[in-house]
Amino acid sequence: MTDKKLKIGLFIDSYFPMIDGVVVVVDNYAKILNKEHKAFVAAPGKEKDNSNLNYKVHRCMQISNKHWSYSLPIPSLDNKFKKDIKKEKPDIIHLHSPFGVGVQGLKLAKKQNIPVVATIHSQFDQDFYKATKSKLLTKILIKKIIKVYNACDEVFVMNKKLEELLFSYGYKGKTRLISNATDMDYPKNPQELLDKANKTFNFTKNESVFLFVGRLIENKGILFLVKVMKVLKDNNFKCKMLFIGAGLDKQKLTQLVKKLNLENEVIIAGRVSERAILSSAYLRSDLFLFPSKYDTDGLVRKEAGAHKTPSLLAKNTMAGSLVIDNDTGFLAEFDEQKYANKIMQIMNNKELLKKVSENTYNKEHITWQNAVNNAQKAYKQIIKDYKN
């Protein structure tokens, strides 16, 4: 029975044209699942946003505001959406959010008597506290979302630290480790891409380059990195810092660069949609700087690793817990001087940098095909257990 082609519903509360780590995960799941099975995505937004996708997307109504990073989905008020997902008759539902669209996925699973799993992607306590500035409201909101996770048959986690966080929220059920991955790999034409990066971003051939890719929001450590660059400059350490991405705090970033007189050292490139240019930036960079206290995994860290570019992360963070210092990556205190000192130590030890560059690829690189294969095996087992 479990060898038949499955239909999997992937439910998410934001989707293209919005791009973030969770959107990338769901897009790769849907594309790869469709090779052997049938997958559809349930998400907010307009139908025209599906034009470049090779799988079905059911869109629900949403409320948008130019001051919000994300729109607010309202699937409960969208009868067409509810009818469309009901007609799909999936074998299993996979939630990638515990909010509006995710809740609709859970309700559908219960009505159709099918298993439902979820992946936890975020440190929700940080999100809620940032939005409310209230510990009490944060606790109330955590209790609300944990009801969704506790109603699932299993919750997938990307690492042990995330599993610990989930249980600290009050989760009582089963977990399964399913790693995230990347569709990038070390290029066959490295010199061509190195030349492209130098030309695109105006780097000289031999200067040190550091990179950040992601949403330009403060809790990912972007302002911290500018201050680190100031420390490096004050120590006469010649280098460039490249920021790729867009976000609500881009203006803060730009203002701080100007305030610290770092216009010649820091490049804010904005969003880069051309994959060859993004690949060239990863390849050209000596280090990927990712001191985020927010990220649970860091898909961009895996993308950097696919180009043999190791990451320098902050100690005592979830993303930092995933690397071994001086082996599969680098770690430093979340302190501007200490972080800058670590950069200088690394760059002055070319043998160590080369070793870690190779390790971050050889020991950590995983393709989306392998990651989704693991999820497919999990789906089949969960469906079998559910029926028994």
C-alpha span between 23 and 12 (Å, rounded): 8
Give pLDDT, residue 31.
96
CATH of the domain at 73: 3.40.50.2000
Return averaged pLDDT per consecutive 10 residues of the chain, 388 residues in all: 82 92 96 96 86 91 81 94 97 98 98 98 94 96 98 96 97 97 96 97 96 95 98 98 95 98 98 95 98 93 98 95 96 98 98 98 96 97 95
Amino acid at the residue 387: K
Residue 97, number of CB atoms within 10 A of its CB: 24
CA distances from 193 to 34, 186, 275, 284, 342 (A): 31, 11, 11, 8, 27
Give the residue numbers spanning the domain of 233.
190-362
Same domain, yes or no, for 131 and 227? Answer: no
pLDDT for position 1: 43
The pLDDT assigned to 327 comes to: 98
For residues 105 and 256, what is the distance between their CA atoms, to the nearest angstrom?
43
Co-location of 156 and 242 in the same domain: no
Residues 118 and 255 in one domain: no
Helix (H/G/I), strand (E/B), else coil: 92 = strand
Residues 328 and 213 in one domain: yes
Q: Check whether residue 373 and residue 247 sit in a common domain.
A: no
Determine contact, residues 92/117, Cβ cutoff 8 Å. Answer: yes
- Give me the pLDDT at residue 18, please: 87
357 and 372 belong to one structural domain: no
Question: What 8-state DSSP symbol labels residue 260?
Answer: T
If asked whether residues 101 and 234 sit together in one domain, one would say no
DSSP alpha helix (H) spans, the chain: 21-36, 79-88, 100-112, 124-132, 135-150, 160-169, 190-201, 222-234, 250-259, 275-284, 299-306, 336-347, 350-362, 368-387
Q: Tell me: do 340 and 374 sit in the same domain.
A: no
The b/e string for 310-333 (b: 16+ C-beta within 10 A; e otherwise) is bbbbbeebbbbebbeebebbbbbe
pLDDT recorded at residue 249: 95
**pLDDT at position 36:** 94
pTM of the model: 0.93
Round to whole Å and give the CA distance between 257 and 4.
56
- Cross-strand pairs, 205: none
Instruction: Quote the pLDDT of residue 68.
Output: 74
**Pair 210, 319 in one domain:** yes
> Based on the domain organization, do 326 and 226 belong to the same domain?
yes
Looking at residue 47, its pLDDT comes to 76
The number of distinct structural domains making up the chain is: 2
Q: What is the pLDDT of residue 2?
A: 45
* 152 contacts 173 by C-beta, under 8 angstroms: yes
The residues, any chain, with a CB within 8 Å of residue 111's CB and separated by 6 or more, are: 86
Place of tokens 């009801």: 147
Alpha-carbon distance 184 to 304, whole Å? 9
Instruction: Give the integer Cα–Cα distance in Å for 37 and 242.
Output: 40
* b/e per residue 156-181 (b: at least 16 CB within 10 A): bbbbebbbebbeebebeeebbebbbb
At residue 339, the pLDDT reads: 98
